Each structure stands twice: as C-alpha cells, then as structure tokens.
Amino acid sequence: MTTTPAYAVAWMNGMNVNDDIIEYLRRVDATLAPFHGEILIHGPDLVVAEGTAKGMLVAIRFPSAKAAQGWYTSPAYQEILPLRLNNIDQERSFAVLAEGVAPGYSASQKIAEFMS
C-alpha cells in the first residue's frame, strides 16, 4: 500500500517581522528534518487569480499524515510555534494539516462521496 503525502498549509496575515520571527525562521528547518518535511511555498509572491489575498502562504509537504501530525505536535515545533503565533493576526490567519490524494486521482471521484 502506498502512503499519500500530507501537507501543512498556513495563510498568515498581519505578520510583524521582528526578532521572534527571525528566530522562528532560523529554527523551523531543524524541526522539519526528522519528519522529512519539505517547504514547497514560502512567501508573499502570489498571483491572485480570484478574490483578494494579502498575506503570506506557506505549504510544506510530508511523506504521510502521520509525519505531518508528528511534526506539528513535536516538542521542537511546539517550542517555537509561539514565536510565529504571537506575531501574526490570528483572527485572519490559519494553519491546516491535510492528507493528499493518491496518484491518478481525478476530481470526479469526489462525486461518489457527495452522493452517498
């Protein structure tokens, strides 16, 4: 059985770039390594195709949902998480962990789930 990748995705608004954020950025890569996390998107350089978007998008890929959850709940990440949370507008920001789909997946496969 093949494990599908999982993703940690964060949308952050109102970031106050200060010493705490710099410290967070210095330390976050080391928290990802044991869980084989790979940053795919990290920055505000967006082409907004629909709606309005101001903020920063971050997407991190993990080999599995277990790895993503392990990273987020790890003592190493929990130690630095307040450095980020205390310096963003938490009312307009979010972070999620989401399991990816298997290779070959198509959107039409969702119809059966909707119809059940």
Tell me the per-residue pLDDT of 55-114, one tens digit each, with 9 for 90 and over: 899 999 999 999 999 999 999 999 999 999 999 999 999 999 999 998 889 999 899 889
pTM of the model: 0.91
Residue 2 pLDDT grade (very low, low, confident, very high; cuts 50, 70, 90): low
Residue 66, domain member (yes or no): yes
Give the DSSP per-residue string, 40-56: EEEES-----SS---SE
CA distances from 65 to 11, 38, 71, 94 (A): 19, 14, 10, 18
For residue 52, the enclosing domain spans 6-115
How many domains is the chain partitioned into structurally?
Answer: 1
Residue 67, domain member (yes or no): yes
The pLDDT of residue 103: 87
What CATH number did the domain enclosing 51 receive?
3.30.70.100
The pLDDT of residue 45: 75
Residue 1, domain member (yes or no): no
Q: What is the DSSP letter of 88?
A: S
